[in-house]
Amino acid sequence: MTSESVSDLLDSLAYLREQVEAVKRQMDTAIKDLIPTDIQGQIEDVKAELEPEISAIEAKAKIVEDRVRELTVEIGATVKGATLQAVFVSASRKVDMKKFDGYVAAHPEAVQLVETGKPSVQIRKV
């Protein structure tokens, strides 16, 4: 498979994702059209009334989450709560491969220390 083929598949994937979003927008519009204008106004009033409370709770949750992260790093282990867990992931180690390749040239036995993992792919918007 060539990069052009993958590029074509990415374009197809992007098109399919756009179709999903278009149908969701169409569905939202159809549902909104079923709601009488006076009810839509009441819905907006309820949202406006409760939004500050939601924002305040989210701010508190952010403070608690930051503290959980900080303490979990100090503990150095995964911590489980009743419904959530803070999964500790130790820091990754990195090697300057350019320098290491130079070292391997002088010490060929060091090649056995290298393990190459499997590549992964993340699909992101351009």
Instruction: Please write the tens of the pLDDT for every residue from 84-114.
Output: 999 998 888 888 989 998 999 999 998 898 8
CB 90 within 8 A of CB 83: no
Q: Cα(123)–Cα(117) distance, rounded to whole angstroms?
A: 19
Structure tokens at 80: 């489980």
Start-to-end C-alpha separation, the chain: 22
The model's pTM is 0.62
| Cβ within 8 Å of residue 43, ≥6 positions away | 35
Q: Are 58 and 65 in contact (CB under 8 A)?
A: no
pLDDT in tens, 5-56: 888 999 999 999 999 999 999 999 999 999 999 999 999 999 999 999 999 9
* pLDDT for 93: 82
Q: Which residue has the higher pLDDT, 119 or 18?
A: 18
Q: What is the pLDDT of residue 107?
A: 92
- Do 106 and 92 touch, CB atoms closer than 8 A? no
Cα-flanking dihedrals φ and ψ of residue 116, to 5°? -110, 125
- Helix or strand (DSSP H, E) at 79: strand 79-80
Domain ranges within the chain, ordered by starting residue: 1-34, 37-113
The dihedral built from the CA positions of residue 78, 79, 82 and 84, taken in this order, carries a sign that is negative
CA–CA dist 100, 9 (Å, integer): 37
Q: What is the pLDDT of residue 95?
A: 86
